[in-house]
Amino acid sequence: MGNSEEKKQMLLIKVMTTLLLLITFTGLLTASWLFMSWLTKPENFPFKKVELVNQLENQKSKELQRMTGNMMNGGFFNINVNQLRADLLFRLPWVKSVSVRKVWPDKLLLKIIEHKPVARWLSVEKSNKLNETQLISQNGIIFNPVLTDKQERQFAKMTLLTGTKSNAEKVLTNCSHINKRLKQLGIGIKQCGMNERRSWKLKLSLINDLDLQLGKEKIMQKLERFINVFSGQLKQYLSSVESADLRYSNGFSVKWIPAASVTGSVTNSSDNSLQNKALSKKSREQE
């Protein structure tokens, strides 16, 4: 009998101990859940400061802070940093990348990297019905920010690149090579790129806005041919050229500005002489 009573007592103790542990665990679990629910409520531990850790050149800091404030829908422990980063990238065209860091107890630190525009961009695709000019970055990314009057004047001086969005990097690369080559002659580029038929065109930064047609292939080779003709002593006649068609296998054709419309232009006899020199090797077969 004694052993039976002892066994019952031991069993009861085990049951009570297990029950107590279960109650304690459930209580701790519930308390933890309640604490986390309280901790992650949007109204608890709200952010009071949004601080930009670097200087911005084009993106307005006030606009950035205002937009960030409107997007923050949570406190320190429940704000979705990844979503905030994605929203800023989507809503602010100037922004190339965003780094977001929380600092206890109420500060949000932002590091913004901006796109660096190197030229204006005009899409030649049929879908661009508005004929809208955008900007293109040094990485070949096309973006369309809202510009201030000061920025409008600043970027209006940039070269205009043309092409399709799928060929933006190619246009940027080729036009950069062309620009470097022409700079050696003291000539800048006003416009460069492809038209809707993927044929390359240039407009030089000269008083006559000289147009060059380069065609679809071997554009650098054709440009070198033009440079070789109009370098040295013949460079003075560039102001008398309205356009040049370089889409030939061995030469190019030139359209001259009428003598009456050019101040100090060369005479007809000089024009003819220059044409003979420039076009002596012209082929009759065009691309």
Task: Give percent above pLDDT 70 in the chain.
Answer: 83
> pLDDT class for 4, splitting at 50, 70, 90?
confident
Q: How much is the pLDDT for 38?
A: 58
| Mean pLDDT, range 115-122, rounded to an integer | 95
Res 267: pLDDT? 33
The predicted model gives 16-21 an average pLDDT of 84
pLDDT mean across residues, the chain? 82
Residue 25 pLDDT? 84
Convert 47-71 to b/e letters by CB count within 10 Å (16 or more is b).
beebebeeeeebbeeeebbebbeee
Q: pLDDT-derived band of residue 119, with 50, 70 and 90 as boundaries?
A: very high
- In whole angstroms, give the CA distance from residue 204 to residue 201: 10
CA distance 116 to 101: 24
Is the previous residue joined to 105 through a cis bond, with omega within 30 degrees of 0? yes
Write the pLDDT tens digit of every residue in 59-110.
Answer: 888 888 888 877 777 777 778 888 888 988 988 999 999 998 988 888 889 9
Q: What pLDDT is recorded for position 72?
A: 74
Tens of pLDDT, residue by residue over 173-217, are 999 999 999 998 889 999 999 998 999 999 999 888 999 999 999
pLDDT-derived band at 271 (thresholds 50, 70, 90) equals very low
pTM reported for the whole predicted model:
0.75
At residue 216, the pLDDT reads: 94
**Whether residue 129 has pLDDT greater than 80:** no
pLDDT value of position 112: 92
Domains and CATH numbers, the chain: 49-114 (3.10.20.310), 115-205 (3.40.50.11690), 218-287 (no CATH)
Which residues have C-beta within 8 Å of that of residue 111, sequence separation ≥ 6? 52, 53, 54, 98, 99, 101
SS3 state at 2: helix
Beta-ladder partners of 136: 119, 142
pLDDT digits (tens, 9 = 90+) for 213-257: 999 999 999 999 999 988 877 888 888 999 999 999 888 999 998
39-71 pLDDT, tens digit each: 556 666 677 888 888 888 898 888 888 888 777
Run of H or E residues at 256: strand 253-256
